[in-house]
Structure 1
Amino acid sequence: MPDRPRILVATGPIDATADLVIDELNRRRVPLARIDVGAFPDSVTLSARLGTSGWIGEIDNGSRALRLEELRAVYWRRPSAYAAETAAPGPVREFASREARAGMGGVLYALPDVTWMNHPHAITACTKPAQLAAFARAGLLVPDTWIGNEPKDHGAFCAEGSAVSKTLGPIAYDGPDGYRVLFTGRVPHEHFGDVRAQATANHLQREIADKVAEYRVAAVGERLFISEAHTASPYLDIRALDPESVTYKPGTLPDSVQEAIRTVTREFGLLFAAWDLLRDAEGTVWALELNPAGQWAFTPDSDEIMRAIADHLEEAASQ
Structure 2
Amino acid sequence: MSDPRPVLVVTCLNDPTADVVITELHGRDVPVVRLDSGDFPASLSVAAEITEHGIQGRISTPSRTADLANIRSLYYRRPSGFAFPHLREPDARFATTQARYGLGGVLASLPGCRYVNHPHRIGDAEFKPSGLAAAVNVGFDVPPTLVTSSPAAARTFIKRYAPVIYKPVHNPVYLVDGVSSVVKVAEVAIDDIDDRVAGTAHLFQQMVAKTADVRVTVIGSTAFCVRIDSGLLDWRTDYSRLRYTPIEPPPGIESALHRYLDHFGLLFGAFDFALDADGRWWFLECNPSGQWYWMEPETGLPMCAALADLLERKP
- Note whether the superposition's TM-score is higher than 0.5: yes
Opposite residue 306 of structure 1, the aligned amino acid is C
Inter-CA distance 171–106: structure 2 relative to 1 (3 Å threshold): closer
SS at 1:299 equivalent: helix
CA contact (8 A) 1:33 1:64 kept: yes
Q: 1:180 corresponds to which residue? A: 181
SS at 2:295 equivalent: coil
SS at 1:279 equivalent: strand
RMSD: 1.8
Inter-CA distance 3–255: structure 2 relative to 1 (3 Å threshold): closer
What are the Cα deviations for residues 24-51 of structure 1, in whole angstroms up to 9, with x where unaligned?
0000010010011222112211112233
SS at 1:213 equivalent: strand
Aligned ranges 1:1-319 → 2 under 5 Å: 5-85=5-85, 87-126=86-125, 127-160=127-160, 161-170=162-171, 172-175=173-176, 178-192=179-193, 194-208=194-208, 210-231=209-230, 233=231, 235-241=232-238, 243-300=239-296, 301=299, 304-315=302-313
Q: Could you tell which deviates more after superposition, 76-85 or 47-56?
A: 47-56
Task: Measure, in 1, the Cα distance between the counterparts of 2:68 and 2:130.
Answer: 33
Task: Measure, in 1, the Cα distance between the counterparts of 2:177 and 2:155.
Answer: 28
What are the Cα deviations for residues 243-281 of structure 1, in whole angstroms up to 9, with x where unaligned?
221110111221211211111011111110000001111
SS at 2:215 equivalent: strand
What are the Cα deviations for residues 136-156 of structure 1, in whole angstroms up to 9, with x where unaligned?
111111111000101110111
- 1:212 deviates by 0.8
Opposite residue 163 of structure 1, the aligned amino acid is V
CA contact (8 A) 2:55 2:111 kept: no
Q: Could you tell which deviates more after superposition, 269-278 or 42-51?
A: 42-51
Task: Measure, in 1, the Cα distance between the counterparts of 2:99 and 2:68.
Answer: 17
What count of residue pairs does the alignment treat as equivalent? 311
What are the Cα deviations for residues 53-83 of structure 1, in whole angstroms up to 9, with x where unaligned?
1222211121111111111210001111111
Opposite residue 229 of structure 2, the aligned amino acid is H
Task: Measure, in 1, the Cα distance between the counterparts of 2:300 and 2:73.
Answer: 21
Inter-CA distance 187–81: structure 2 relative to 1 (3 Å threshold): same
Task: Measure, in 2, the Cα distance between the counterparts of 1:10 and 1:134.
Answer: 27
**Unmatched tracts of structure 1, length 5 or more:** none
- 1:165 deviates by 0.5
Over the matched positions of the two proteins, sequence identity in percent amounts to 35
What are the Cα deviations for residues 156-214 of structure 1, in whole angstroms up to 9, with x where unaligned?
1112211111011125323465321211011134223x111011101000111x31111
Opposite residue 239 of structure 1, the aligned amino acid is R
Opposite residue 257 of structure 2, the aligned amino acid is I
Opposite residue 240 of structure 1, the aligned amino acid is T
Opposite residue 162 of structure 1, the aligned amino acid is P
Opposite residue 153 of structure 2, the aligned amino acid is D
SS at 1:158 equivalent: helix
CA contact (8 A) 1:5 1:33 kept: no
Task: Measure, in 1, the Cα distance between the counterparts of 2:206 and 2:50.
Answer: 53
